[in-house]
A and B are shown apart, each in its own frame.
Chain A
Amino acid sequence: MTVIDVAERKSRARATTFYFFAAMSLLTLWVSMAMPGSDLLRGIWTGLSFAAVINLLPLARWLKPNSPVARLLDDDGVREHRRMSCTAGFWASMISAFAVAITVEEAAPLSAFDAVRVVATAAISAALISFATLELRAARG
């Protein structure tokens, strides 16, 4: 197995993990909003979100700058996908922030922490899903 094959396998695994993180982040937000006051659920959401954000960074290249596989996992194409997914995350956060503002004004009040969680979850999930989709689409021959 060549270094190209190894990088491709790891890239697919990363994309799948990102879909999982996005789904879990949305799920824990929804469950913890439905069960207010649960510190455990809030803690799980915080941990998952932190892990997801960390994974969006080019950690492999930072930690192993001389590894050929790490370089391939953050090459020109991947950096472009990361830029595009961060843009998607930004717009998702803007839309969700306006949605929260309207909801709080017109319907149910929301704590500051919950408002932050909604906006952060939208941004993280959009970025993760966008990145994973771009990566898997690029890998298709």
Chain B
Amino acid sequence: MPLVGDRLSNVLKAERERLGLTQGALAEAIGVSRKTINTIENGIFVPSTLLALKLARTLDRPVETLFQIEE
């Protein structure tokens, strides 16, 4: 979990669309529900390290490219 006040932004939607994947297809690829992908993309849910690494592997991008701490 981030520190209080820190916000995590992500480019998950852009990277997913770059590969032509739907939320459902990405969800199926990493074994979570579509709504979990939706909440991550909208910044509502901060994923675990494991889930972040799975996303990075599936989208073929480093984790730090997908997720950044907002300054």
User: Which residues on A are within 8 Å of B, measured CB to CB?
Assistant: 2-5, 7-8, 11, 68, 71-73, 75-78, 80, 135, 138-141
Contact = CB atoms under 8 A, between A and B. Distances in A.
Interface of B: 23-24, 27-28, 31-36, 38-40, 44-45, 47-48, 51
Nearest to A71: B31
A56 B21 CA distance: 32
Closest 8 CB pairs of A and B: A77-B36, A138-B35, A75-B32, A139-B35, A4-B24, A72-B33, A138-B39, A4-B28
B36 A4 contact: no
B45 A72 contact: no
B33 to A, nearest CB: 5
Nearest to A12: B35
A50 B24 CA distance: 34
A77 B31 contact: no
A5 B12 CA distance: 21
Nearest to B28: A4
Nearest to A73: B33
A88 to B, nearest CB: 16
Contact of A77 (B23, B28, B33): B33
A11 B33 contact: yes
Contacts of B39: 77, 138
Given A4-B33, A138-B35, A76 B48 contact: yes
B34 A76 contact: no
